[in-house]
Chains A and B, each alone.
Chain A
Amino acid sequence: MNALIFSAVSGVIMMFSSFLLNNKNSVRVLAHVLLLATIIANIFELRGISFFHIDTRGMLEFDRFALLFTLVANVCTFAFFLLSSRDLEKIGNHYSDYFSLLFFILAGIVVSSSFKSLLMLFLGIEILSIPLYILTGSDKRNLKSNEASLKYFLMGSFSTGLMLMGIALIYGATGTFQTGITVAEKVPVLLITGMMLLLFSMSFKVSAAPFHFWTPDVYDGAPTVVTSFMATVVKAAGFIAFMRLFAEEFGSIRPEWKLLVGIVAAVTLFIGNITAVFQQSVKRMLAYSSISQAGFMMLAIYSLSNDAKEGLILYAAAYSLATIGIFAVLVRMKDYTFEGFNGFAKQQPFLAGILVVFLLSLAGIPLTAGFLSKFYMLKATIDGGSLALAIFAVLMAAVSVYYYFRLIQSMYFKTGNATISGTTTGFKYTLAALAGITILLGIFPNLLTNWLYF
């Protein structure tokens, strides 16, 4: 509850700061301070101290899983603020409003990661999506941004419609919005139909194949800063909601959907990785890579064990930190294609080294957080009884090495004049700290996962 109220109030404060503060620097500092306060409040709640006692009538449950993910999301957002908040300025004139929308998204993340009622799931997913439609189109003079925003909005509202239809059918079958249904031996057909519709709409929100078609266009068209937030924190939040929904609401009818989710995971892995190989633009490659990483996260929903829960949290942290780091560098590059990175290592050896750490983590090379999170997923999948799916996932991870290493190749082994602007010392140190966390989590994952239990 702490994080929810703090981030919602922060959003309102940021909204007012647009006319109370006319200095861009003070707006930025205010946003950082408010987010830090939210993080601290959330840690207090994780330690069992809640500032607010509100009777939610069982519609929200702030268990450790939800609180820990909220913490991960908030910390990743803080890293995003530190690295990219100056680039937000360049999108347009409504600087503080962008921050306020980001805070509202954080409030949506809290709701959608701690819901106990389908009504709350719907509200959370909507609070998450609507500010994103706006942020996607915030670069108003850029036609591609407008197109991406409209496309995202239309498709997103369609999938929301499917979700509502599914919730209505489930309500018809069970007579309640609360999750945690128990079914007799014969599963009502209405429940199955509703579950399928919810599966479709959640797959759309996390861009799992075959509902991924909007992703490359939207990620490519949106301002790069926004893409970096959208592809990481928000996508991870979608997965947490997905997992919670299928573990709690449909956990008792698991045989009905297990095969389907397995197929979705396999198709997502295949399409994401194979298409990413052919991309020429790094931004588009990262969009497809986010689809392929979504395939790995789908494995957690397939297996639904304790390992999968730990793994999903770790995966969310590892993937978000690495992708935020790469995007922060990409925003400052002049040319977004692979050729644009030619000779980058000669000019910026320090930054290039850090980028390599992030890329290795995304590819899942040992000693990085990416490796361990993939390892958890595979372990959970094998325990869940599907060796074939795990083998397929490993093969696809091997494909992903190709396109991640292609960027390393352009940076180190090709000559060219990559141009990057606006790299301050603080920026470099923050990136180095992110890389440090990536390696630290790759060696001691317990630093994060222990919070689930103690």
Chain B
Amino acid sequence: MGITQILFWILAITAIFSALMVVISKNPVYSVLWLIVTFFTISGHYILLNAQFLAVVNIIVYAGAIMVLFLFVIMLMNLNKETEPQKSKWLKLAGAVAGGCLLLVLVAGLRHTEKQMTEMVTGDIGLIQNLGKVLFKDYVVPFEISSILFLSAMVGAVVLGKKEPRIPVETEMRKVEETQQAINI
């Protein structure tokens, strides 16, 4: 067993364990912290595949930016045990059955795949130079089209986030009534 394989097993076991802890932890803040551990182990896998750029981006974007947002949201919402919504037993049971079914199907499906260890000691497709070349030569059309996606998301952020000037009292009253009716229904 070479050093790569030992590293792979350590990383894989840590990844699965921390991913399980994300789901199991009662305290949401712990969940987020375990999620960060998961991201780091996945970055480790990327490095084993000789994809340094992806590994770094994964840490910067996910462990850095997105996790900070997660923590902020959790702190702003002030989640703790008292505010945790009580879910009915049946709902939990239904969730367990549904999740279990998916697990069963996936395991049954993937059980028969050929066992192969992919070890990219010599592969260099993940290096930043090659990645850039592929992105701007072969995949330039999807790259440009994704700009439409981001543009629409930006327009959406403006539409949803911008403060509305006061609307006339009548319309507002009407809307309040409508909402109340909707709630009553």
Kindly state whether residue A12 has any CB partner on chain B within 8 Å: yes
Kindly state whether residue A8 has any CB partner on chain B within 8 Å: yes
Q: Is the beta-carbon distance between A93 and B156 smaller than 8 angstroms?
A: no
Q: Residues of B contacting A126 with CB < 8 Å?
A: 149
Q: Residues of A contacting B183 with CB < 8 Å?
A: 143
Q: Is the beta-carbon distance between B141 and A11 smaller than 8 angstroms?
A: no
Which of B106, B112, B149, B164 meets A93, CB within 8 Å?
B164
Q: Is the beta-carbon distance between A138 and B159 smaller than 8 angstroms?
A: yes
The segment out of B49-57, B60-68, B76-84, B172-180 that lies at the interface is B172-180
Which of B142, B148, B167, B175 meets A11, CB within 8 Å?
B148
> What distance in Å separates the Cβ of B140 from its nearest Cβ neighbour in chain A?
8
Q: Residues of A contacting B158 with CB < 8 Å?
A: 94, 97
Number of interface residues of A (CB under 8 A): 44
Q: Is the beta-carbon distance between B109 and A59 smaller than 8 angstroms?
A: no
Interface residues of A in 159-200 (CB under 8 A from B): 188-190, 192-193, 196
In the complex the two chains form, what is the Cα distance from A253 to B50 in whole Å?
35
Q: Residues of A contacting B159 with CB < 8 Å?
A: 92, 94, 97-98, 101, 134, 138
Kindly state whether residue A57 has any CB partner on chain B within 8 Å: yes
In the complex the two chains form, what is the Cα distance from A56 to B140 in whole Å?
8
Kindly state whether residue A272 has any CB partner on chain B within 8 Å: no
Secondary structure at chain B's binding surface: helix, strand, loop or mixed? helix
> What distance in Å separates the Cβ of B118 from its nearest Cβ neighbour in chain A?
10
Which of B105, B152, B160, B179 meets A142, CB within 8 Å?
B179
- A107-B110 contact given A93-B164, A93-B165, CB 8 Å threshold: no
Q: Residues of B contacting A60 with CB < 8 Å?
A: 141
Spell out A's residues near B (CB within 8 Å).
Answer: 4, 8, 11-12, 15, 54, 56-57, 59-60, 92-94, 97-98, 100-101, 104, 107-108, 111, 117, 119-120, 123, 126-127, 130-131, 133-134, 137-138, 140-144, 188-190, 192-193, 196
With contacts A104-B155, A107-B148, A142-B178 known, what are 14 further pairs, Cβ within 8 A?
A: A54-B141, A94-B158, A98-B159, A123-B149, A131-B155, A131-B156, A137-B160, A142-B175, A142-B182, A144-B182, A190-B109, A193-B106, A193-B109, A193-B110
